[in-house]
Structure 1
Amino acid sequence: MASTTPYSRNGRRRDEGNSRIPRRYPIAASPTDSGRSCALHAQAAPVPGMAARPSRRSLLGHRRDSSHRSLRGSMRSGGSRRSFEVPMTRLGGGLSGWLLALTGLGAAVALLPWQPVQAETRVIDVHAEVREQAVFLDADLAVHLDAEVIDALRNSIALNLVVEAELVAPREWLWDRRLLGGKRALRLEYHALSRTWMVTDVTARETHTFSKLADAVRSLSRIRAWRLGSSTALPKEGRVLGKLRVRLDINKLPLPLRVPALFRDDWDLGSDWFLWRFPG
């Protein structure tokens, strides 16, 4: 009965004597480190019927660049350990490699999708003066709406803003004394049937209609000729400071949206107090 083991009695493989099976990667030992040890390197033998591949030196005309490194390791096979060496090419040497990496990072950031501006309301400028024995105020706001707020507007949810303004007499030891003040309610809503945007000054009972949201927000951001009160409440001497801020009237929102409006940045439409010296 023929033996099925790949080894003969003398310990050699049966296919070693078969010349028809080429050994593509014979192992040759080369002495290194003054003969104390030897490293095993894989050498590619020519395959019958195939032309020999030209070396890197014959193609480029010079030796391999110093920027090429190799990954070395070892593996155990058949009771013996064999070492291997895999050539690797790094990005580049020194500063040029870092510049190339930073250039690629900048290109990746530039390809990121554009992120919309978060909801925000700021007071840009305020002007107040006395006319006809009354104090009138003009204010310019910067209102940015988030995509979620715009989607809520398109689903017939009105956005109510409250503008608060005060004139105070500052004091060193106690809180400021309030001289004049008032609130102005503004509402922004979308009419789906006519596809128009409406800005309503609830305090003045005025409504303006716009075909574009940008025009409606621009109208919402401009407050003109707001009468705060009689100028007789102002002191004849001493400093007078003005304060103005904008906040979202959360109580006018539907009940399911009130809690998210308190904690989410998408609905953060309140501004800080804007201070200025009166008159001015």
Structure 2
Amino acid sequence: MGFTLPCYKKWSVDLRLVRASRLLRAFAWLLWCAATTALGPLAHAQGAPAVAHMEVERSLEGLFLNVSMEFGLPSLVQEALQQGIPMTFVADAEVTRSRWYWSDEKVSSVQRFLRLSYQPLTQRWRLNVSSAPFSTSGLGVSVGQSYDQLSDVLAAMQRIAHWNIADAQVLDTGSPYRVHFHFQLDMSQLPRPLQIGALGRSGWNLSIARTERVPLLSTP
């Protein structure tokens, strides 16, 4: 009596075709984005990115920064995230001392790195924060949290509270200081096809900057 076995070979071929089709669609999307940004920037509906509030706290322990920003993600950035491409953002804080006889002296410089990604299977957003750059092999030492809505994760990204930007030992009591804050999308972390078309294009750019004077340390 004859019988037939399931066609495992055919299923294997079909699975490879599905995977190849997905890779081709993702690659085609990357090329389309690169070509689109090369032709011209896409404006997004959000207002101009800006620092809504910036406060520098000075104490016997050092300098601490509180920042509240207002920004939305450019449309191409959102599309890339939906395609599973993570985005890296960098916050820089530089402390300088004013000198009347020469250029300002840099006394401290710190960075904070944020990796934003979208997980299609769970339909959730993931934000990892680290004081060191993310390695190519993984997230390294970082703190991560998941969010259900994009608005929730953006709210977390837009606020920095009590960030230690300079220790007390590098500061003089009576010297005038300034804090230069900068927040931007790190386009060097984008896939190579996107870097070619995205660099310098407003459809990808997200950059915010502000400078504040540091209050003098009050003496008892």
Normalised to the residue count of structure 1, the TM-score between the two structures is 0.54
CA–CA separation in structure 2 for the residues paired with 1:252 and 1:218 = 22
Alpha-carbon distance change, 242 to 124 in structure 1, aligned in 2, over 3 angstroms = same
Equivalent residue number for residue 192 of structure 1: 120
Equivalent residue number for residue 40 of structure 2: none
CA contact (8 A) 2:74 2:206 kept: no
2:109 pairs with 1:172: no
2:152 pairs with 1:224: no
Unmatched tracts of structure 2, length 5 or more: 1-42, 132-140
CA shift, 1:258, in A, is 0.8
Q: Which amino acid in 1 is paired with 2:212? A: W
SS in structure 2 of the partner of residue 199 of structure 1? strand
| Rg larger in structure | 1
Q: Which amino acid in 2 is paired with 1:216? A: V
Of 157, 162, 178, 1:241 maps to 178
Larger RCO (CA within 8 A; separation ≥ 6): 2
Across the two proteins, how many residue pairs are aligned to each other?
A: 165
Alpha-carbon distance change, 249 to 116 in structure 1, aligned in 2, over 3 angstroms = closer
Q: RMSD of aligned C-alpha atoms?
A: 2.1
Alpha-carbon distance change, 240 to 219 in structure 1, aligned in 2, over 3 angstroms = same
CA shift, 1:116, in A, is 4.2
Of 212, 215, 220, 1:279 maps to 215
Equivalent residue number for residue 202 of structure 1: 130
Equivalent residue number for residue 189 of structure 2: 252
CA contact (8 A) 1:119 1:267 kept: no
CA shift, 1:146, in A, is 2.0
CA–CA separation in structure 2 for the residues paired with 1:240 and 1:263 = 32
CA contact (8 A) 2:63 2:165 kept: yes
Q: Which amino acid in 2 is paired with 1:279? A: P
Alpha-carbon distance change, 212 to 152 in structure 1, aligned in 2, over 3 angstroms = same
Cα deviation code 1:48-100 (max 9, x no counterpart): xxxxxxxxxxxxxxxxxxxxxxxxxxxxxxxxxxxxxxxxxxxxxxxxxxxxx
Cα deviation code 1:173-230 (max 9, x no counterpart): 4221112221111111101111101111122821121111111111110112211231
2:157 pairs with 1:157: no
Normalised to the residue count of structure 2, the TM-score between the two structures is 0.68
Equivalent residue number for residue 213 of structure 1: 150
Q: Which amino acid in 1 is paired with 2:184? A: R
CA–CA separation in structure 1 for the residues paired with 2:99 and 2:82 = 47
CA–CA separation in structure 1 for the residues paired with 2:109 and 2:88 = 20
